[in-house]
Amino acid sequence: EQGIKEAKDRSRATTLKLDALQSKLPSPYLFSNLFMARCGWSHANLYLEKETDDWDKTVLNSIHLVIELHQDLRAGKYRLDKNSDIVGGRALATGEAMYAAMILKKPELALEIFSLATDPSLYFHQIFNVFRVWILGLYLSEDYAELKKLLRTHRYAGGLREAYVLCFLGLLLKDKDLMNKGVRDITKHEWELWQAQTKDRGGGIVNMGATALTLMALDRGIAVKLPGPTVPDIIIAPKKKAPRKA
């Protein structure tokens, strides 16, 4: 009993020291908040300037913030019990960064985020943000058996969740009708969600999920009709700059 008491005392002392060290680190939420703020700013600039180069650079740099966040969480720099709402894919920024990486044609970055952020023991796909991360991660990992199981589970969920299911079914089956309905519904439902935001509302100017899935469909040879301005034509089919005259 004395040994147990001493071990508990040592554990408490270690926990206090760890908390003191972790309190000196920047809040992990700064990474996700900065990602969202930068993306919103770059979306607004894209809408106004009609120029993709700056958008590409800003979004790519922002993706690396999310990677750094999940690397730090994975390394144990932050207590998971105190930051549970950004662990396992629960943070909106995690999914946004993965779909942004697909827009930039960098699936390796999306897979890196997926491997850092998720854990089979935290497969809480009933949470929408977690579902959104896993459905793309399983597709990119080519784990089609588990992906189909996830799609069957949420096939008739309705609303936004079902819209993502339709898109991934469309990708797997090369079905343009499923794909078009899914992209259209994602755009509609997510626009409503972005409008309800009290901050980061600029993030809805470009719909990362619908834009990424449209590009993925086109790469699969599936014809997709652009559902609206939040899936910008300038990103889907960027115009080549004319060479400067000597």
- List, for residues 228-240, the tens digit of each pLDDT value: 999 999 999 876 5
pTM above 0.85, yes or no: yes
Cα→Cα distances 15→11, 18, 25, 76, 85, Å: 6, 5, 16, 13, 21
pLDDT classification of 243: cutoffs 50, 70, 90: very low
Check pLDDT > 60 for residue 245. no
pLDDT classification of 55: cutoffs 50, 70, 90: very high
CA–CA separation, 190 and 208 (whole Å)? 10
Of 3-17, 38-52, 110-124, which range is least confident? 3-17
DSSP class per residue in 213-237: HHHHHHHTT------STTS-HHHHS
* C-beta separation of 200 from 37 below 8 A: yes
pLDDT classification of 24: cutoffs 50, 70, 90: confident
DSSP class per residue in the chain: -HHHHHHHHHHHHHHHHHHHHHTTSPPHHHHHHHHHHHHHHHHHHHHHH--HHHHHHHHHHHHHHHHHHHHHHHHTSS-TTTSGGGSTT-SHHHHHHHHHHHHTT-HHHHHHHHHHH--GGG--TTSHHHHHHHHHHHHHTT-HHHHHHHHHHHTT--HHHHHHHHHHHHHHHT-HHHHHHHHHHHHHHHHHHHHT-SS-GGGGSS-HHHHHHHHHHHHTT------STTS-HHHHSPPPPPPPP-
User: What is the overall mean pLDDT for the chain?
Assistant: 91
Task: Give which of 110, 72, 70 is closest to 91, Cα–Cα.
Answer: 70
Check pLDDT > 50 for residue 246. no
pLDDT classification of 76: cutoffs 50, 70, 90: confident
Share above pLDDT 90 across residues of the chain, in percent, rounded to a whole number: 77
